[in-house]
Structure 1
Amino acid sequence: MTTSGGRQRILIVGAGIAGPVLAYWLTRNGFSVTVVERAPSLRRTGGHAVDLFRPAMDIAEKMGVLARIEERATGSNRLTLWPEGARRPVRADLSKIFSATSERHAEIMRDDLSEIFYDATRDDVEYVFGDSIAAISPDGAAVSPDGEVRFDHAAPRRFDLVVGADGAHSAVRALVFGAESRFGSYAGAHFGVLAVPDTAGLDGELRIHVGVGRTAGVYGARHLDDARVLFLFRSDQQIDYHDTDAPRQKELLRRAFAGLHADVDGWLAELDGTSAFYFDSITQIRMDSWSRGRVTLVGDAGYGPGPAVGGSTSLAIVGAYVLAGELARAGGDHERAFPAYERVMAGHVRGSREVALSAARRLIPRSRLGVTGLAQGARLIAALPAGPARAFARLATSSARVYNSMAVEDYPTSPHRDAPASS
């Protein structure tokens, strides 16, 4: 373990987005940080695009990585929306929407963002890939009174605090708080993501097909040779499937999207040969408290508003920054820092849950009227001059309003301060 005289030792489980951001700010406040990640290397799973709103962009700028994020932005600037059964699509300028929703915004592939944050920390943080935490005592302390933590493969080690940054299906949360079924709130929909060849030459185009209870879209990124397809579909009940049963997951998508449009049929035809595939339910994590003893959760592990409906990545970045700031302010005293972290984040989490559910309703209409309304909104933005179009988009995009309005304190850093190790 890389430590120096008396520095508090913190274990972060998960090297996605929140984990590396938290590690960055903790090391700059004098903590010794180890990140353990179950995957054998940094994940490159072909994930979908994520939105970074103003607070997350501000934090990225403080980390010195904003230029890399802007360089890797997807570059999507045009929308082509096909309502099911329509003879012609609705086209809109996405720049009107983006400029209306935020003075600072970037859309970036999740894998690219993870790599950027990892690169910003790899020289100062110990990363352990191909392993995970195996046991934590029920009271949220480490396994033994002296802070020993057991892993699936590595020898036991001692840490003062443990942070679960391991996503919506968090192993840390399951070990400390209980089964995911206790905290997961199904939002009424499922989603799938796959990589497809960019045979259409999208070049900044976001192409969406919308029907009652189902939406499918394809987009690319300026630096990628392939494209991504995102499928969203409603289901009254959460569908029973095994996480590793990709053939069943793909069959669920085929059934849900059969006959929507010839474009969509072509995307479905790529399911068996795709280089990257992911499927999950849109489920919110709802916990009254996400800290217990010496363990806390950050990002989707503790308060994910739901994947694929916008904002969860920005919330995770803000949460990581706040947690590090409160730990530094409390001198490493988790009994002060964890409650302060939860108080700061509580309002942000409530707002994110509400807008995520609203976004899911808009993106996956329940009726023909909802499909028509989505198309008419895009048509109005396309027809209005830039100023009025931005005003309309600002009113229509509640997600951006909520995330951009998050007030985040400017926590100072103390790079030379030694955080006291717990006794």
Structure 2
Amino acid sequence: MTTVLISGAGVAGPTLAYWLARTGLTPTVVERSEGLRSSGNPVDVRGRALPVAEAMGITSELRKYATQATGMVVLDADGRVKARTEMGAPGEVEIARTDLAAVLYRAAAGDAEFVFGDSIATLNGDADGVDVTFERGAPRRFDYVIGADGLHSTVRRLAFGPEEQFVRHAGLYIATLPLAGKPPEPHDVVLYNVPRRLVALHPARGEAGAAFIFRGPPLPGSAYRSLGQQKQIVTTVYRGVGWRVPALLEQVSAADDLYFDAVSRVVLPRWSRGRIGLVGDAASCVSLFGDGSSLAMAGGFTLASALASGAGFAGYQSEHEKLTAPKQRRIGIAAGFLVPKTRLGIATRNAAAPVLF
């Protein structure tokens, strides 16, 4: 019996657990939070993730929880509609990340052990396996340990080194929150830009959400760790911006919770060390612009197949890097389209919006 410990019950972790179980391996998933927890930000299931979802038998459930967004509206500087484009290609599903994680968990839960409310404390690997201690549970030994625990991966820090060695700031920050009331545009994502700043309104599934994406220099994590710091940054950056922004900032100030983080990419030459490996954002985050959830599902499937076939971590990275590398190279281009630096850049982007989006 080959045992595999997976850290993280987001998108990559449950996908990997599902496929490991079907290839005869025994997966255990440990998740720091007391239950399923993931941001409500909308993500896409597309590309290589679509056949993975189909093979898992979850496509119909994904469509059940799909957002109601069918188009994207780009506004000019005065808040008037400049362009509207249809969203998504045939077969693609846009879904809240929370709902995607829950669907994947339900698919994997019958064949994998899930341990909530705990986290890996130490890792000690040798040629035959990895000894693991936990913050709460008793020590255990596994044949493999996989970090599927996101941009700020604990496994990567323990096995590879400090986060600062591998996480590259992409020059942007993002803050998101749900909004009170129904969305003003029930089927459209609305984009409003001023130089270096974007506000996006999303209809989700009948409940509006807002995203603030803005350019800024690298800051230490301690500078935006608390909710108060996050609110202050957003309200300061967007102070004086017109359209609906003042009312949105009032909701930011009153929010009990706010998702806030730097937009980053993860760069490390090898995604494994001995019997410890990484998958999803922990290995190759392309943050915000790079189909992260779809890549996480595809990566989980590829890693499970590689471990079961004997191709191992090297075979997994060789195959999956074909998908992640182009996305990482295009982060700067995508950022320029979404958050132009100048008014001329915004006007140029808006004129080309029907083609770009």
Indicate the TM-score class for this superposition, using the shorter chain for normalisation.
Answer: over 0.9
- Alignment deviations for residues 69-101 of structure 1 (CA, whole Å, 9 cap, x no partner): 1121112123332233x2622241324xx2xxx
Find the aligned partners of 1:10 and 1:49 in 2 and give their Cα distance.
30
Find the aligned partners of 1:246 and 1:133 in 2 and give their Cα distance.
25
- Please report the RMSD computed on the Cα atoms of aligned residues, expressed in angstroms: 1.8
8 A contact 2:44–2:92 mirrored in 1: yes
- Equivalent residue in structure 2 for 1:317, among 274, 290, 297: 297
Residue in 2 aligned with 1:219? 202
Find the aligned partners of 1:108 and 1:87 in 2 and give their Cα distance.
27
Residue in 1 aligned with 2:70? 77
- Alignment deviations for residues 299-354 of structure 1 (CA, whole Å, 9 cap, x no partner): 00011012x22411111111111000111111xxxxx4111111112222210102
Residue 287 of structure 1 pairs with residue 263 of structure 2:
no
Residue in 1 aligned with 2:179? 196
Q: Which residues of structure 2 form unaligned runs of 5+?
A: none
Counterpart residue type for residue 56 of structure 2 = M
Residue in 2 aligned with 1:94? 86
- Equivalent residue in structure 2 for 1:132, among 104, 116, 119: 119
Counterpart residue type for residue 349 of structure 1 = T
Residue 184 of structure 1 pairs with residue 167 of structure 2:
yes
Counterpart residue type for residue 196 of structure 1 = L
1:113-124 alignment runs, 5 A limit: 113-124=100-111
Q: 1:194 to 1:40 in 2, by over 3 A?
A: same
Q: CA deviation at 1:363?
A: 0.3
Q: 1:161 to 1:237 in 2, by over 3 A?
A: closer
Q: CA deviation at 1:202?
A: 2.9
Residue in 2 aligned with 1:57? 50
Find the aligned partners of 1:314 and 1:355 in 2 and give their Cα distance.
16
Q: CA deviation at 1:218?
A: 0.9
8 A contact 1:51–1:310 mirrored in 2: no
1:18-417 alignment runs, 5 A limit: 18-45=12-39, 47-84=40-77, 86=78, 88-95=80-87, 98=88, 102-137=89-124, 141=125, 147-222=130-205, 224=206, 226-238=207-219, 241-242=222-223, 244-306=225-287, 308-330=288-310, 336-378=311-353, 381=354, 393=355, 396=356
- Percent identity of the aligned residues? 33
Find the aligned partners of 2:9 and 2:224 in 1 and give their Cα distance.
20
Q: Which residues of structure 1 form unaligned runs of 5+?
A: 1-6, 331-335, 382-392, 398-423
Q: 1:160 to 1:374 in 2, by over 3 A?
A: same
Find the aligned partners of 1:239 and 1:133 in 2 and give their Cα distance.
24
More off after superposition, 336-345 vs 122-131: 336-345
8 A contact 2:290–2:327 mirrored in 1: no
TM-score with structure 2 setting the length: 0.95
Counterpart residue type for residue 108 of structure 1 = I
- Alignment deviations for residues 271-312 of structure 1 (CA, whole Å, 9 cap, x no partner): 133354110001100000010011000000011012x22411
8 A contact 1:50–1:310 mirrored in 2: no
- Structure with the higher strand share, 1 or 2: 2
User: SS state of the match for residue 48, structure 2?
Assistant: helix
8 A contact 1:54–1:104 mirrored in 2: no
Quick check: which has more Rg, 1 or 2? 1
User: SS state of the match for residue 238, structure 1?
Assistant: coil
Q: 1:323 to 1:200 in 2, by over 3 A?
A: closer
Find the aligned partners of 2:236 and 2:224 in 1 and give their Cα distance.
18
8 A contact 1:149–1:159 mirrored in 2: yes
User: SS state of the match for residue 200, structure 2?
Assistant: strand
Q: What stretches of structure 1 move > 4 A for 4+ residues in a row? A: none
8 A contact 1:209–1:261 mirrored in 2: no
Q: CA deviation at 1:136?
A: 1.1
Q: CA deviation at 1:361?
A: 1.4
Counterpart residue type for residue 297 of structure 1 = L
Q: CA deviation at 1:148?
A: 2.7
Residue-pair matches, total: 357
User: SS state of the match for residue 272, structure 1?
Assistant: helix
Find the aligned partners of 1:274 and 1:362 in 2 and give their Cα distance.
29
8 A contact 2:128–2:143 mirrored in 1: no
8 A contact 2:20–2:308 mirrored in 1: yes
More off after superposition, 153-162 vs 354-363: 354-363
- Alignment deviations for residues 25-49 of structure 1 (CA, whole Å, 9 cap, x no partner): 000011111000000111154x211
Find the aligned partners of 1:44 and 1:133 in 2 and give their Cα distance.
19
Counterpart residue type for residue 90 of structure 1 = K
Find the aligned partners of 2:322 and 2:38 in 1 and give their Cα distance.
32
8 A contact 2:35–2:117 mirrored in 1: yes
Q: CA deviation at 1:243?
A: 5.2
TM-score with structure 1 setting the length: 0.80
